[in-house]
Amino acid sequence: MTDAEKIKELEHELSMYKLNGAIGLYYQLNKFVNDTVEYMRLTGVKTLLSGGKDDDPKRFERVMALIKNAKEHIVDMEDIKIKLGLTGDEEKDKLRKPFIDRIADKRD
């Protein structure tokens, strides 16, 4: 890895620390829920229930726990979205200054 690549990587890592954690959490939960839905579409109930001898016997329980967690995340996401006034546009929301930084802005 060249010095320029290392600098770019470290700058990216630093920028991640500057993000509002709650906003980041909202969008990570959204990605988790979307991944869960995609997995459900690809898997199907018949596949989960008709396991062969090589299938993991705990697979069904893990998938059901995944679905339950996704449902709980959706409720959490709605709460976060309302409290933070998120728009649903990840880039726009992440660039928005946190409230504590805005209260000191000059007002007309």
Q: Which of 45, 88, 83 is nearest to 63 (CA)?
A: 45
pLDDT at 95: 78
**Domains of the chain by residue range:** 3-99
Q: What confidence category does residue 104 fall into, taking pLDDT thresholds of 50, 70 and 90? A: low
Higher model confidence: residue 21 or residue 98? Answer: 21
Residue 108 has pLDDT above 70, yes or no: no
Residue range 72-97, pLDDT digits in tens = 999 999 999 999 899 989 888 877 76
User: CA 106, 107, 108: angle at the middle one, nearest 5?
Assistant: 125
